[in-house]
Amino acid sequence: MTRVMFQGTRGAYSEEAIRHFFGPEVEAVACDTLGQVFDGVENGDAGFGMVPVENTVAGSVVQSYELLMDHDVRIYSETVLHVRHVLLGAPGAELSDIKRVRSHKQALAQCQRYIERNGFTPEPSFDTAGSAQELSANPVKEVAAIASELCDELYGLQVLERGIEDFRLNYTRFFVISLETPPRAQRNKTSIAFVTPHQPGALYECLGEFATRGINLTKIESRPRINQPWQYIFHLDFEGHYQAPECEKAIMGLLRRSSFVKLLGSYPAAPQLAVERDMTVGGQAGDQEGVS
């Protein structure tokens, strides 16, 4: 059976992403920290790890990118999960009973309008699934948890309401990390990290290696370089496999112009059909709900 590590309590959205990518017949191993996930994969304790890297509402998960720099694992694939928050109550509870809601502070923030509209008192917890686990262990009718629907299955709670998030287009992008080399797919992405010399036009020249070859960049972001104040690492994703001729030439050009380059992985790109469908069908309503 495939063994996959993730950070969080059973029922976390990372575990939901594992089932989404690998299917239900998988051994999901909960870890306390993201560092333990990377260590476990690097040491061979599991074949894969599932780590969040970006959310459409909250932005990048900085620690995941830092750990990718520090460990000798590669990105095996990516997957995108539509985050749908669910209000879970104790067995026998009804929506009218609820006075307090518990969840991770980010989930509470993503459901702020719903919480205010219902007059609930938010109570931050250490994570979404942990709040559901705690409610299952100590059921109180006036308390509900905001978590994934998987928590209902795992902890025997009662779904009081689905889709309570304020932003309908709430997606989290995950990297599947592994020591294995991923198969080359029809659509591929490549993730790299690089550092430019401290001189005028350096970043412009680095990016030009991709632009002049018609390579589409899907993400670029800078992060402070740890232990080197005022220096920055650029994280860049582009469409294509690093062994494709034009991509290979671009990387070679980047190597000549940069002071540091690390290939984080070339991997199958996640299907975009579901995201595009949601944007077409429900995007307008979702955008309106997200305006404060």
How far apart (Å, rounded) are the C-alpha atoms in residues 80 and 272? 9
- The catalytic position among 48, 174, 175, 234 is 174
- The catalytic position among 172, 175, 194, 196 is 172
174 assigned to active site? yes
260 assigned to active site? no
Three-state SS string over the chain comes to CCEEEEECCCCCHHHHHHHHHHCCCCEEEEECCHHHHHHHHHHCCCCEEEEEEEECCCEECHHHHHHHHHCCCEEEEEEEEECCCEEEECCCCCHHHCCEEEEEHHHHHHCHHHHHHHCCEEEEECCHHHHHHHHHHCCCCCEEEEECCHHHHHHCCEEEEECCCCCCCCEEEEEEEECCCCCCCCCEEEEEEEECCCCCCHHHHHHHHHHCCCCCEEEEEEEECCCCCCCEEEEEEEECCCCCHHHHHHHHHHHHHCCEEEEEEEEECCCCHHHHHHHHHCHHHHHHHHCC
Three-state SS string over 77-138 comes to EEEEEECCCEEEECCCCCHHHCCEEEEEHHHHHHCHHHHHHHCCEEEEECCHHHHHHHHHHC
> Could you tell me the two tokens for 199?
């001189």
Residue numbers annotated as active site: 172, 174
